[in-house]
């Protein structure tokens, strides 16, 4: 049971252009009634989730998840997604990133003069999305890379997105290594499937090994950045790494880094 009370200190979320978090109404503070059946940590997560303006905005906008705003914010700044592009979305469920990719590449509009293509993979099932071809399979399955490549309308893709995250164990070091392992697998795949000049965006976590991943990316991309979009919770160790200007399958020796 939830007790909903007005939050007098809450400020209206600023409205913005299409896809941004916006509301002109005063937000309500949702209080979660504690219960012995639910751990305190779970109560805290639930209350934070229910009072998250991005969660509310995603619901209003019809996005599958609040993470859609992370891709919106990154793309608004760095212009990764363009009409006509071929995009691969790794770890796509429940589909927030795929929705944005389909909209911005025009994959959801076959009548467009430059319709794109979005291919998404996840071991979890999720509802169909207009303009998105979905493969339900674990990306770490040895057959996954080949199946993804066979779904592309051209030999190479323009953008590889990865918001993959491994189920947590509660052990910080183990969880960090597992997420970084997924990021490394995504990088290896991106280097196989991207066309020269292509881009790679992946979730990583701060924890001591992300610099090794950056060094690997610098061998293959002209510019590598660490990004923490505004919609990424401040208390989270979550970061995103953006690599642009893919040098081709053989990589290159020149490197450039940007914070």
Closest C-alpha to 57, from 18, 21, 30 = 21
Closest CA to 152 of 212, 185, 198, 100: 198
State the pairing for strand pair 194-205/221-227.
unpaired
CA 117, distance to chain mean position in Å, is: 17
**DSSP secondary-structure letter at 36?**
T
203 annotated active-site: yes
Task: Give me the catalytic one of 70, 106, 203, 247.
Answer: 203
In the β-sheet with 238-246, what is the strand arrangement from edge to edge? 132-136, 117-122, 86-90, 157-162, 194-205, 238-246, 221-227
If phi > 0 it is left, if psi is from -120 to 50 it is alpha, else beta; for residue 239 that is: beta
d(CA 180, CA 21): 30
Annotate 89-149 with three-state secondary structure: EECCCCCHHHHHHHHHHCCCCCCCCCCCEEEEEECCCCCCCCCEEEEECCCCCCCHHHHHH
Catalytically active residues, by annotation? 203
């Amino acid at each position: 049971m939830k007790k909903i009370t007005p939050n007098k200190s809450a400020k209206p979320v600023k409205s913005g252009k299409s896809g941004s978090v916006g509301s002109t109404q005063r937000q309500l503070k949702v209080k979660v009634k504690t219960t012995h059946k639910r751990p305190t940590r779970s109560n805290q997560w639930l209350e934070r989730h229910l009072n998250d303006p991005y969660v509310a905005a995603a619901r209003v906008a019809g996005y599958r998840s609040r993470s859609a705003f992370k891709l919106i914010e990154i793309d608004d700044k760095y212009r990764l997604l363009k009409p006509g592009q071929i995009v691969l979305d790794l770890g796509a469920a429940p589909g927030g990133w795929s929705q944005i990719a389909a909209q911005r590449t025009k994959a959801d509009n076959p009548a467009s003069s430059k319709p794109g293509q979005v291919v998404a993979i996840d071991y979890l099932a999720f509802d169909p999305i207009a303009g998105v071809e979905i493969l339900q399979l674990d990306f770490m399955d040895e057959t996954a890379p080949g199946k993804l490549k066979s779904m592309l309308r051209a030999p190479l893709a323009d953008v590889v997105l990865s918001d993959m995250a491994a189920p947590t164990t509660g052990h910080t070091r183990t969880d960090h290594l597992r997420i970084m392992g997924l990021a490394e697998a995504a990088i290896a795949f991106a280097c196989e499937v991207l066309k020269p000049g292509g881009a790679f965006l992946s979730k990583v976590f701060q924890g001591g090994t992300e610099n090794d991943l950056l060094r690997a990316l610098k061998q293959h991309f002209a510019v590598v950045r660490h990004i923490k979009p505004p919609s990424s919770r401040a208390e989270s160790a979550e970061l995103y790494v953006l690599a642009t200007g893919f040098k081709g399958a053989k990589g290159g020796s020149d490197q450039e880094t940007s914070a």
